Amino acid sequence: MSPSKLGQSMGGIARGIIERKASLDSYYLNPNKCKLCEKIIDVKPDHKVSETKKQKFCSRSCGAIYNNSKKPKKIKIVKVPVQSRLIDISLPIRSFLYKKGSSMVSRINDHARKVIEQTNLPKSCTVCGYTSHVEVHHKIPIRCFDLDTPLEVVNSIYNLVYLCPNHHWEVEHYLINIH
């Protein structure tokens, strides 16, 4: 590198240092103060003074405390589920399948869950023993019963088993047989 270019590059660096010092001096005559703690917001060595002038808080925690006090979290309203009406188990499944509103098949399945939970059966898949999540399965599907069959027969404890989601899907798609 030629001596003249070396001097120019040194001059540019020296000029930058002088301008940064002037900019810092100007900033500290009237510095930004944190909105929360009133502490002077310092210019970090690797930041520009113009970036620091835009800051309103000295740290992220001061910003979070200030903003959370101004805009508190909304209180979540928890909906309490309405208890379903008692189901007359002597009624035929026809009366559950053709009503309007919520799915009556889901009401039959809800009742099946209550029936199997009242027993002392272990809550684990009858095929693999998985216990984290089990579903109630009708050995004889609801669709196979005559519509005049009472609910107590469809949801008989002898027709219900616990299955993990994987085995429940496999049984429903005739990949395995558990009877």
**Across 44-53, 70-79, 90-99, least confident range:** 90-99
Residue 77 domain flag:
no
Q: How far apart are CA 90 and CA 98, in angstroms?
A: 16
Please give the residue range of the domain that contains residue 168.
Answer: 94-172
Which amino acid appears at position 28 of this protein?
A: Y
Q: Using an 8 Å Cβ cutoff, are 164 and 133 in contact?
A: yes
Sign for the CA dihedral angle at 140, 141, 143, 148 comes to: positive
Residue 178 domain flag:
no
Q: Do 64 and 104 belong to one domain?
A: no
Query: Length of the chain, please?
Result: 179
pLDDT tens sequence across 117-144: 988 889 999 999 999 999 999 998 888 8
Q: Do 167 and 105 belong to one domain?
A: yes
pLDDT of residue 127: 92
Q: Do 116 and 61 belong to one domain?
A: no
